């Protein structure tokens, strides 16, 4: 299945940008960066920017690819993809995750405890 030109963003809270020029978190080890890059190539996805631990990023990429590979006669529905990813992350890692799926968009998310 060809990769569609939509991008997604999944975040729990806004953190300082600790990403390198490739959008990969600087807090990951070099080995994790290589593994994540290999996973993105294997799944035919493009990782734009993320500030999550390696395991969460890998989970997000795999789960998104699983959703995109489900048999359907229609183009992927960005709202349905975002809702499914959000529910998956809420159940796996606790609430309250936000997920945006689409193309040609910008977003800014902040979080205040309490």
Q: What is the 8-class DSSP label of residue 15?
A: -
Tens-digit pLDDT profile for residues 30-65: 999 899 999 989 988 887 777 788 899 999 999 999
Let me know if residue 8 belongs to a domain. Answer: no
This prediction has a pTM of 0.65
CB 97 within 8 A of CB 11: yes
107 or 7: whose pLDDT is higher?
107
Let me know if residue 20 belongs to a domain. Answer: yes
Q: Give Rg (Cα) of the chain.
A: 14
CB 98 within 8 A of CB 11: yes
How many residues comprise the chain? 114
Average pLDDT, the chain: 77
**DSSP alpha helices (H): ranges in the chain?**
30-43, 54-68, 78-93
Q: What is the CATH number of the domain that holds 78?
A: 3.30.740
**What pLDDT score does 1 carry?**
39
**What pLDDT score does 114 carry?**
65
Q: CB under 8 Å to 34, separation ≥6 — which residues?
A: none
Average pLDDT over residues 64-84: 88
Q: How far apart, in whole angstroms, are the C-alpha atoms of residue 42 and residue 20?
A: 22
9 in helix, strand or coil?
A: strand
Domain residues for 39? 13-102
Let me know if residue 68 belongs to a domain. Answer: yes
**What pLDDT score does 83 carry?**
95
CA distances from 56 to 71, 74, 77 (A): 25, 28, 23
The count of structural domains within the chain is 1
């Amino acid at each position: 299945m060809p990769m569609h030109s939509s991008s997604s963003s999944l975040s729990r809270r806004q953190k300082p940008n600790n990403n390198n020029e490739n959008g990969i978190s600087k807090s990951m080890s070099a080995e994790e960066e290589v593994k994540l890059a290999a996973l993105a190539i294997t799944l035919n996805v493009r990782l734009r920017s993320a500030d999550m631990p390696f395991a969460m990023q890998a989970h997000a990429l795999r789960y998104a690819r699983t959703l995109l590979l489900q048999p359907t006669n229609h183009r992927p529905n960005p709202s349905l993809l975002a809702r499914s990813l959000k529910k998956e992350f809420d159940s796996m890692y606790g609430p309250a995750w936000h997920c945006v799926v689409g193309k040609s968009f910008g977003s800014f998310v902040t979080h205040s405890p309490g």
